[in-house]
A and B are shown apart, each in its own frame.
Chain A
Amino acid sequence: MTTPDTSRLRDLAVSDSGFVLDPRTGHTFTLNETGLLVLRSLKDGAAVYQVVDRLESEFEVDPDDNIHRDVEDFIANLREFGLVR
């Protein structure tokens, strides 16, 4: 999979509660704690494997969980909203 272009994420206004504003469209989103960490990591320019590392170090992760796939799904959602390319 090619590295997603996450430059648009830098424009997003993100509150500590996980409330997100896209100032270009006025659309708002609500994230849970893990979603917030993923978004902030991507916003900082982290690669997918680095996001996975951060999730593993911040949260208790079940060995059966496929975090990598979850992050890819999250990015696919962002792509649908036009926030990554």
Chain B
Amino acid sequence: MTPSRPTVAITGMNATDNPAPGVGIARALRQDPEIEPKIIGLGYDALDPGFYMDGLLDGGALLPYPSAGKLALRQRLEEIRARFGIDVFMPTLDSELRAAATLADDLARIGIRTLVPSVESLEKTTKPRLPQLNNHPDLRVPESQAVSSADGLADAVRDLGFPAVVKGPYYGAEIVTGEADALAAYHRFVATWGVPVIVQRFVRGEEYNVAAVGDGTGATVGAVAMRKMALTDKGKGWSGITVENRALIDLTKAVIDTLRWRGAIEVECLREESSGDLYIAEINPRFPAWIYLSAGAGQNLPAAALKLVLGLPVPRPMPPYRAGTLFVRISLDQVSDLSTYEQLTSRGVLGPRKAFP
């Protein structure tokens, strides 16, 4: 049965200069005229900016850090369900996806629906395993090697040549131009994330990103492509523009099909300058932080994902989005009295607010 006004709990309220997608997802859901969900923001810090955005949330709650494990998450979600009556849980961070995928059936038994990929699909998008997509005739991932020692690193950069890209197993990438550079980057990633470290052939070209939703059968529900126009010093997109590019959408559809992807996904692509070939640089198993652009451009992917998990009809194909739609982030100081901070720090929950019936 589908609730008339579903309550959705969305993680990733940390809209900092390295923003999580939660605020963008909540804004997109607010924009859908059909669902009118009650939205509960979830975060890890009482100062996560999304908690302070006027009109965004009907309530909020703090979660235990992912390192506390999936049972701690499950227990906390039960508490949040008891308080807010949540129908849907939308994890939005890479670090939450594995636990959410493992818990999906368990959560369904206590009345919390999720739209997450299977653990098996998720595994295939990890950096060490991503090059296996090269087995698919329509997909290309730059030649990569996973290394676990300085000797292995030296062999890999000898094979792949310079410049090369050195990547942490979960996060971060550095372009290196020599062996000393590569070794320094290797040690930085090992110190932060451990092994393996990924060494990848550098593909010179423009980057494009595609956000999409898969229904789990191999079909793509919707997909929006964009090119970043400005980056922060951390390499995060600060503005971008939607593009109409059939090759990018077809590549994303092939990824979703081969992975039987269920839920949100972002495919980061590189168009090689010399060959014009499209390569998959990375796959993120979630919506990107820029996902509100999809709603702004006319194809509301978060709303489609929510409807899918609620069993509501989603038009196939979804309406086309407008190419040439821009997003530009702004830094904005939210002003708040002490009550939001007080509630989150002293009780770990925010609301329900008065407007929350």
Contacts and interface: CB of A to CB of B under 8 A. Distances in A.
Interface of A: 11, 13, 21, 23-26
B323 interface: yes
Interface string B244-261: 110000000000000000
A13 B243 CA distance: 12
Given A26-B227, A26-B229, A21 B245 contact: no
20 contacts: A11-B244, A13-B323, A21-B323, A21-B324, A23-B243, A23-B244, A23-B323, A23-B324, A24-B243, A24-B244, A24-B245, A25-B227, A25-B243, A25-B245, A26-B226, A26-B229, A26-B240, A26-B242, A26-B243, A26-B323
- Name the 5 nearest CB pairs between A and B, nearest first: A23-B323, A26-B241, A26-B227, A23-B244, A26-B243
A25 B229 CA distance: 11
Interface of B: 206, 226-227, 229, 240-245, 323-324
Nearest to B323: A23
A23 B323 CA distance: 6
Nearest to B324: A21
**A23, A24, A26: residue with the most chain B Cβ atoms closer than 10 Å:** A26
Given A13-B324, A24-B245, 20 more contacts: A13-B323, A21-B323, A23-B243, A23-B244, A23-B245, A23-B323, A23-B324, A24-B244, A25-B206, A25-B227, A25-B243, A25-B245, A26-B226, A26-B227, A26-B229, A26-B240, A26-B241, A26-B242, A26-B243, A26-B323
A52 to B, nearest CB: 31
Q: Is the interface of A mostly helix, strand, loop or mixed?
A: loop
A25 B248 CA distance: 11
Contacts, number: 26
A52 B63 CA distance: 68
A18 B241 CA distance: 19
A13 to B, nearest CB: 6
A54 to B, nearest CB: 27
A26 B245 CA distance: 10
A27 to B, nearest CB: 8
Contacts of B245: 23-25
Contacts of B244: 11, 23-24
Contacts of A21: 323-324
Nearest to B276: A82
A24 B324 CA distance: 9
B282 to A, nearest CB: 20
Q: Of residues B206, B227, B323, which shows the largest number of chain A Cβ atoms within 10 Å of its Cβ?
A: B323
A9 B31 CA distance: 35
Most A-side CB within 10 Å, residue of B226, B227, B243: B243
A21 B242 CA distance: 11
Contacts of B241: 26
Nearest to B322: A23
A76 B173 CA distance: 36
Contacts of A26: 226-227, 229, 240-243, 323-324
